Structure 1
Amino acid sequence: MYHRSSHHQSHTPTPAYNPGYGGYGSHPPPPAHGAGHPGYSPQPAHLHRAPPGADPELWHWFTAVDTDKSGSITVNELQSALVNGNWTKFDLDTVKMLMNIFDTDRNGTIGFNEFQGLWRYIKDWQDVFRHFDRDRSGSIDGHELASALNSFGYKLSPQLLSLIEQKYASGPVAGYGPPPGITFDRFVRACVVVKTLTEAFQAVDTDRDGWIQINYEQFMKIVLSAP
């Protein structure tokens, strides 16, 4: 079942997560902290001078991803640049989710400033993924998923956790790579979806009793069962 808690939200993706207020869970990593490389090796590209104050290496990556040299990155360009630990590309749905978060001017692409935030966000999520991938398999299994969501403050029932695992898990890739489970990109999307749905439920659960016209468990099952 879904449980409640009185702690405040935590916005820091460290091993010691705090449960969220009202039992709704603390936020997964926000798009702001850290820096690093989300597992992409750019191909050689003609480099223009980096903007003043920009990280030259990050600018290099940006210009490599911007294959048409338009000065901004499309969904397809971003998808071609992001890979999981088993060298599979990020799911298009995950890439669209990332674009939606960081396309702050809503023009359908991301510029360098937006790209910097996206890159750091992915790096934060990589740290979280590595922390909960206890067996170092390169994928997240059901127990690891439960541990991660519980640490974010989401106290979900075994049935709901199983539904999330089934929805986001993928099979092995051509006989190599990690065992069946949730790859990095799908792990990020699963956590963000749980956060988003929880906040949507919270917005209408004004008395914080865990019920609206249907209870939280039913609400999540209905949404997660949708195509």
Structure 2
Amino acid sequence: MYAQQQNLRPHHSQHHHHARPASTGPMYASNQRGPPAGDPQLYQYFSAVDQDRSGSISVTELQSALVNGNWTRFDLDTVKMLMGIFDTDRSGTIDFKEFSGLWKYISDWQNVFRHFDRDNSGSIEGQELAQAMRSFGYNLSPQILTLIERKYASAPPTAYGPPPGITFDRFVRACVVVKTLTESFQRVDTDRDGWVQLSYEQFMNMTLTAP
């Protein structure tokens, strides 16, 4: 019933296109220690995003640092999802180590996005979305693919705005949601026939725990 699903953690590539943090003045506060072990350039990004010099990044600070290819900010729900994945100590913020993992995750996803954005429009739509989902092992019906596109696509705010379709940030969220819901379904579909009997409680738990 199920296709062989690939790990949704994207393949790492050496070619990265990083989001740009806003300039926030001096990179280091006078009482700040030197950068921890890791990529010095990435630590500079981290320090620029850490506007209150707390040593960790909040949801709003992270959103200000992440932009799509069309220079629109990441959707807040996507930022919260990423925080939930990489805030491993559940502090509500991410430190430099957690930020490093998040940055690599985003960079790898950008390579995946560029691969399926065949027309280089900066968004994923139609057959591009179907090809991406099939490559991850999800054989979704045209009706479900249409629902995904309608749910996650962003219409241009003006005639001069970005083209309609799923921007990078929403593409990542859509893929993670499909993965999460599929895994939740498979846990109760023990005989793998594509049919399950769920209680109302199970159904609500399955849907409300999706990102």
Q: In the alignment, does 2:86 pair up with 1:102? A: yes
Distance in 1 between residues matched to 2:157 and 2:82, nearest whole Å? 24
Q: For the Cα contact (< 8 Å) 2:22–2:64, is it kept in 1? A: no
Q: CA RMSD in A?
A: 2.3
Seen in structure 2, the aligned counterparts of structure 1 residues 57 and 177 have a Cα distance that, compared at 3 Å, is farther
Q: For the Cα contact (< 8 Å) 2:20–2:65, is it kept in 1? A: yes
Q: CA-to-partner distance for each residue in 1:62-107, whole Å, 9 max, x for gaps?
A: 0001000000000000001101111111111000000000000001
TM-score by length of 1: 0.80
Q: For the Cα contact (< 8 Å) 1:139–1:183, is it kept in 2? A: yes
Q: For the Cα contact (< 8 Å) 2:21–2:64, is it kept in 1? A: no
- Out of 47, 50, 72, the residue aligned to residue 35 of structure 2 is 50
Question: What is the number of residues matched between the two proteins?
Answer: 197
Q: For the Cα contact (< 8 Å) 1:26–1:153, is it kept in 2? A: yes
Distance in 2 between residues matched to 1:178 and 1:88, nearest whole Å? 9
- Out of 160, 165, 168, the residue aligned to residue 152 of structure 2 is 168
Deviation at 1:178, TM superposition (A): 3.3
Distance in 2 between residues matched to 1:80 and 1:189, nearest whole Å? 18
Which residue is equivalent to 1:201? 185
Deviation at 1:175, TM superposition (A): 3.2
Q: In the alignment, does 2:162 pair up with 1:178? A: yes
Distance in 2 between residues matched to 1:112 and 1:175, nearest whole Å? 40
Which residue is equivalent to 2:136? 152
**1:167 counterpart letter in structure 2:** K
Gaps of 5+ in 1: 6-19
Q: CA-to-partner distance for each residue in 1:39-83, whole Å, 9 max, x for gaps?
A: 2144143225211x3211000000001000000000000001101
Which residue is equivalent to 1:40? 20
Seen in structure 2, the aligned counterparts of structure 1 residues 107 and 94 have a Cα distance that, compared at 3 Å, is same
**Residue aligned with 1:86, SS:** coil
Which residue is equivalent to 2:7? 27
The within-5 A match list for 1:119-158 is 119-158=103-142
Seen in structure 2, the aligned counterparts of structure 1 residues 111 and 41 have a Cα distance that, compared at 3 Å, is closer
Deviation at 1:37, TM superposition (A): 4.5
Gaps of 5+ in 2: none
Seen in structure 2, the aligned counterparts of structure 1 residues 26 and 191 have a Cα distance that, compared at 3 Å, is same
Q: In the alignment, does 2:53 pair up with 1:69? A: yes
**2:147 counterpart letter in structure 1:** L
Which residue is equivalent to 1:11? none
**Residue aligned with 2:134, SS:** helix
TM-score by length of 2: 0.86
